[in-house]
């Protein structure tokens, strides 16, 4: 039987680790429910992963590659599956060792699959969005790095067809080396029951990242209150686990201070996973306050799994393919979408439940088993 080494961050019981860690945990649980390849989770050494079966395998930063190499010597596998996101394994120049990992894996005679959790959409690269030139320049550099990384990769996995388009047309990765597997959704045993005795309630949650614009959401909600004075916003924002500098902390505090000053806004800091069902049960709609079109995120997947629909920027992959689920990222765009969709919540909930079943972790795990078999 094939043994897959899953290189990833993994949830810890001590501090929040980030969305990739939660994704990996859900994927592993789904893979282990059915017969198939044996999966060895090669997680971070600090903070220690909460699951006892996880191997504390790698160190953050410059020691990443060497520490993982030693772990692979101690825990032999047939195939390595790397969960990759910029700066997931190191900051600044120390992020480069992770880009070299597929080449190291190939020299060991092993197959390598890389899931890319962050790939810029073609709309951003073509300048049709609101992204500044500096963001497009960084994205172009990132795609060039992925092209170089791809010389050691058997298959890339992305969550959206638009991301596959970027890899093929911009990074020049052969389309046969790209697999599109949607972000998994954990279907709740009981979907959220809408409450008719509450005002229209919007929610948002997740980690603070450079590509999110919480101020835009706050501006649009403030404008919405002029026509819907009873509207409410449950505003949760978590400090990013790898962005803890003074600048990031100042930005975080400024956003939370402003949110708390607005009428109709209830603020929360980090909402732990066990607390999310109650948080979502109090919301009619979750807003994804991204600056640009994005792939289906962990925030969207969590909400949809609970039967709560979402709103994201125009062009955002799966979300954009549902009528009314997106908004133009321009002044007044989100305000108008919220007002419009407040009258369509029943249809949106039906769409959310259908999408949850279509993208269930069981189906996502099945796609991964087939992928593993194709590169053995």
Is pTM beyond 0.75? Reply is yes
Other beta carbons within 10 Å of 293: 25
Burial grade of 362 (CB within 10 A; 0-12, 13-18, 19 or more): middle
Is-contact 356 185, C-beta < 8 A?
yes
The answer to whether 302 and 359 have CB atoms below 8 angstroms apart is no
Token duo for residue 276: 């999310």
pLDDT attached to residue 358: 92
The pLDDT value given to residue 164: 96
Q: Tell me the C-alpha distance between 44 and 350, whole Å.
A: 39
pLDDT for the residue numbered 291: 82
Q: Which CATH superfamily is domain 3-184+360-375 in?
A: Glycogen Phosphorylase B; (3.40.50.2000)
Buried b (16+ CB within 10 A) or exposed e, 18-49: bbbbbbbbbbbebbeeeebbebbbbbbeebeb
Which residue is listed with tokens 């282990």?
32
Element (H, E) at 188: none
Q: Return the pLDDT at 54.
A: 95
For CATH 3.40.50.2000, the residue range(s) in the chain are: 3-184+360-375, 201-358
Q: How far apart are CA 324 and CA 340, in angstroms?
A: 8
Joined together, the tokens standing for residue 141 give: 């550099």
Top CATH class, 201-358? alpha beta
pLDDT at 124: 81
Per-residue DSSP letter, 236 = E
280 CB-near residues (< 8 Å, 6+ apart): 192, 203, 286, 302, 303, 306, 308
Given a contact cutoff of 8 angstroms between Cβ atoms, the answer to whether 179 and 370 are in contact is: no
Residues 119 and 167 sit within 8 Å (Cβ to Cβ): yes
**Amino acid 304: pLDDT:** 94
Integer Cα distance of 357 and 186 in angstroms: 9
Closest CA to 171 of 153, 187, 189: 153
Written as one string, the DSSP assignment of 318-363 is HHHTSTT-EE-SSTTHHHHHHHHHTT-HHHHHHHHHHHHHHTBHHH
Place of tokens 């859900």: 26
Distance CA 324, CA 335 (A): 13
Tell me the H-state helices in 51-113. 64-74, 96-107
The sign of the CA dihedral 345, 351, 354, 360 is negative
> Distance (Å, rounded) from C-alpha 166 to C-alpha 197?
45
Residues of the chain with pLDDT under 50: none
- In sequence order, the β-bridge partners of residue 310 are 286
Contacting residues for 178 by C-beta, under 8 A, at least 6 apart: 155, 156, 157, 158, 164, 167, 168
Three-state secondary structure call for residue 249 = helix
Contacts of 168 (CB under 8 A, 6+ apart): 174, 175, 178
């Amino acid at each position: 039987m094939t043994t897959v080494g899953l290189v990833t961050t993994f949830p810890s019981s001590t501090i929040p680790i980030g969305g990739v860690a939660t994704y990996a945990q859900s994927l592993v649980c789904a893979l282990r429910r059915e017969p198939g390849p044996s999966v060895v989770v090669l997680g971070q050494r600090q903070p220690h992963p909460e699951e006892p079966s996880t191997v504390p395998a790698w160190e953050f930063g410059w020691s990443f590659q060497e520490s993982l190499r030693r772990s692979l010597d101690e825990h032999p596998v047939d195939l390595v599956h790397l969960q990759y996101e910029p700066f997931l394994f190191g900051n600044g120049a120390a992020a480069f060792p992770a880009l070299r990992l597929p080449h190291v894996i190939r020299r060991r005679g092993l197959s390598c699959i890389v899931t890319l959790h962050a790939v810029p959409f073609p709309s951003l690269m073509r300048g049709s969005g609101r992204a500044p030139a500096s963001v497009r320049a960084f994205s172009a550099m990132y795609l060039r790095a992925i092209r170089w990384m791809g010389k050691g990769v058997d298959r890339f996995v992305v969550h959206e067809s638009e991301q596959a388009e970027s890899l093929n047309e911009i990074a020049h990765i052969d389309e046969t080396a790209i697999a599109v597997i949607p972000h998994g959704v954990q279907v709740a045993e009981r979907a959220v029951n809408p409450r008719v005795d509450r005002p229209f309630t919007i929610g948002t949650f997740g980690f603070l990242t450079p590509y999110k614009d919480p101020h835009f959401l706050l501006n649009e909600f403030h404008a919405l209150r002029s026509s819907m004075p009873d509207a409410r916003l449950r505003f949760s924002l978590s400090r990013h686990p790898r962005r803890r500098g003074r600048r990031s902390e100042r930005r975080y505090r400024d956003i939370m201070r402003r949110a708390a000053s607005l009428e109709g806004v209830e603020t929360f800091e980090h909402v732990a996973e066990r607390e999310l069902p109650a948080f979502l049960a109090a919301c009619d709609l979750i807003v994804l306050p991204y600056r640009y079109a994005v792939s289906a995120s962990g925030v969207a997947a969590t909400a949809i799994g609970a039967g709560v629909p979402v709103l994201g920027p125009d062009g955002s992959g799966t979300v954009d393919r549902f009528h009314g689920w997106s908004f133009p990222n321009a002044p007044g765009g989100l305000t108008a979408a919220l007002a419009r969709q407040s009258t369509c919540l029943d249809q949106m909930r039906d769409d959310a439940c259908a999408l949850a079943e279509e993208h269930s972790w069981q189906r996502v795990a099945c796609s991964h088993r087939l992928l593993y078999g194709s590169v053995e």
